[in-house]
Chains A and B, each alone.
Chain A
């Protein structure tokens, strides 16, 4: 199986061809937004962080920023910084260049003389970059070039019965094709971590799976909180999920049946051709999706029992539900109905159709989240601002 994508100078393959206007901090976010609005083909996001953070917290932000610029769906990046933030321009540029050699331009608002001048310069950089990007021709690539991020949000019991089962089938097939599939959401391994650990390819991976789960629980306990306070959510419970363990046992179906070959920390760069891997991310969807996209995922596959709108600025997000009522109610948001799996449908046939859709989306077919223009995202936090 193949798809048509864009070859990048660092050797990776993109499925979209965007110019990223990257705000280095909250103080550059509005300026970045104004620049992106002026240039068709440019994208940005609202970075609420980038300053007043302790080192471990800032590292998450830096990794998401560098990973976004390096994501193969991006042609090149215009970094916009205020000038005095902790995420200094030279640090951000260095972090990006450690991951990729793609085009990069810089605008520092305090140095160029304020917002209007920064917008002027930023728009000109972005226009030139979009023009260069538009000359790139798509080429045919094997599915093994794909890194697929898997996510579930607004889960209900049909997620574990159907939608995540179909995602797991896709994951097994992507792995068989020689690609990479990422299983995420550490909070939703709780109560199921032993099942994942049994599938670890090495003793190190086995120990890391327990480590990331225990680390997450302890981090919340350090501030006197419990992961169960907000998880399962009211919507999960209304749908019929009773406990976090039940939610987790449904969640991990997304990882299919192949060995777990690696465990990555939040937003670190993931290797291609690595089979099934885990990334340590929160159960919160926009910040988990952002971490996988920063890791290099070109496509996100996202299951939802209740129905969620989540998109992403860089990666197409394919929505799938196992709940036939939700599909009927929210067809404008959801791409795939996996409910036939519950009612005697043929998983192999549904898997064939789903792989075809993944290939089509990788080749440019718009997902429903893309058609609606949804780009919301978040970056995980370690603790409060300083």
Chain B
């Protein structure tokens, strides 16, 4: 059963759509293909977890867009939230 949702193929996080406990298998679709990983923490429903390793300073990607920057190295299956991500104002006019 799917218990997480990856919104865009470029994302490095997925959203828990069921409550997930540490050690539980996380199942989600990536571009239509079912993928699995192991949760490294309890994930509250609708919170995010990493589906790819994100090094400190790298962008966190959701909806295919940057939502912030990793403040430390984030491992696959980690809870991704305010403790390890901070907002970062980008110049989006240049990005176009």
- A240 with B87: in contact, given A161-B5, A192-B65, A342-B5 (CB under 8 Å)? no
Interface string of A303-336 (1 = CB under 8 A from B): 0010000000000000000010100000000000
- Verify if A157 is at the interface (C-beta below 8 Å from B): yes
In this complex, what residue of B is CB-closest to A192? B65
- A240 with B68: in contact, given A158-B46, A193-B92, A194-B92 (CB under 8 Å)? no
Q: Which of B33-41, B50-58, B78-86 contacts A (4 or more CB under 8 A)?
A: B78-86
Docked complex Cα distance between A158 and B45 (Å): 10
Give the residues from 50 to 76 in chain A that come closer than 8 angstroms, CB to CB, to chain B: none
State the Cβ distance, B51 to closest chain A Cβ, in Å: 15
- A245 with B67: in contact, given A161-B7, A194-B93 (CB under 8 Å)? yes
Contacts of B46 in A (CB 8 A): 156-158, 161, 239-240, 305, 323
Contacts of B48 in A (CB 8 A): 157, 240, 242
- A240 with B5: in contact, given A193-B92, A194-B96, A228-B87 (CB under 8 Å)? no
Q: Are A242 and B80 in contact (CB under 8 A)?
A: yes
Contacts of A242 in B (CB 8 A): 48, 60, 67-68, 80-82, 85, 87
Q: Are A240 and B15 in contact (CB under 8 A)?
A: yes
User: Which has the most chain A C-beta neighbours within 10 Å: B5, B67, B68, B82?
Assistant: B67
User: Which has the most chain A C-beta neighbours within 10 Å: B62, B87, B89, B93?
Assistant: B87
- A243 with B7: in contact, given A160-B63, A161-B15 (CB under 8 Å)? no
Contacts of B60 in A (CB 8 A): 242
- Verify if B17 is at the interface (C-beta below 8 Å from A): yes
Contacts of A342 in B (CB 8 A): 5, 17
Contacts of B7 in A (CB 8 A): 161
Interface string of B7-47 (1 = CB under 8 A from A): 10000000101000000000000000000000000001111
Q: Are B95 and A246 in contact (CB under 8 A)?
A: no
Contacts of B82 in A (CB 8 A): 237, 242
Docked complex Cα distance between A192 and B45 (Å): 25
Give the residues from 148 to 206 in chain A that come closer than 8 angstroms, CB to CB, to chain B: 156-158, 160-161, 190-195, 197-198
State the Cβ distance, A260 to closest chain B Cβ, in Å: 15
Q: Are B81 and A246 in contact (CB under 8 A)?
A: no
Docked complex Cα distance between A249 and B15 (Å): 14
Contacts of A343 in B (CB 8 A): 17
Partner of A197, one of B47, B81, B96: B96
Contacts of B17 in A (CB 8 A): 342-343
State the Cβ distance, B12 to closest chain A Cβ, in Å: 13
User: Is the interface on chain B under 10, 10 to 19, 20 to 34, or 35 or more residues?
Assistant: 20 to 34
Docked complex Cα distance between A198 and B64 (Å): 15
Q: Are B15 and A245 in contact (CB under 8 A)?
A: no
In this complex, what residue of A is CB-closest to B94? A194
User: Which has the most chain A C-beta neighbours within 10 Å: B44, B65, B66?
Assistant: B65
Give the residues from 18 to 44 in chain A that come closer than 8 angstroms, CB to CB, to chain B: none
- A244 with B45: in contact, given A160-B63, A194-B95 (CB under 8 Å)? no
Partner of B87, one of A193, A195, A243, A305: A243
Docked complex Cα distance between A328 and B93 (Å): 42
Interface string of A359-371 (1 = CB under 8 A from B): 0000000000000
Q: Are B80 and A195 in contact (CB under 8 A)?
A: no
- Verify if A210 is at the interface (C-beta below 8 Å from B): yes
Interface string of A232-257 (1 = CB under 8 A from B): 00000101101111100110000000
Q: Are A240 and B81 in contact (CB under 8 A)?
A: yes
In this complex, what residue of A is CB-closest to B62? A246
Q: Are A157 and B63 in contact (CB under 8 A)?
A: no
Contacts of B96 in A (CB 8 A): 194, 197-198
Chain B residues proximal to chain A, CB less than 8 Å:
5, 7, 15, 17, 44-48, 60, 62-63, 65-68, 80-82, 85-90, 92-93, 95-96
Known: A195-B65, A242-B82, A244-B87. 4 other contacts (CB 8 A): A191-B87, A197-B92, A245-B67, A342-B17
Chain A residues proximal to chain B, CB less than 8 Å:
156-158, 160-161, 190-195, 197-198, 210, 228, 237, 239-240, 242-246, 249-250, 305, 323, 325, 342-343
In the A-B complex, the 10 residue pairs with the smallest Cβ-Cβ separation, listed nearest first, are A243-B87, A194-B92, A246-B67, A240-B47, A243-B68, A249-B63, A157-B46, A240-B46, A245-B67, A242-B85
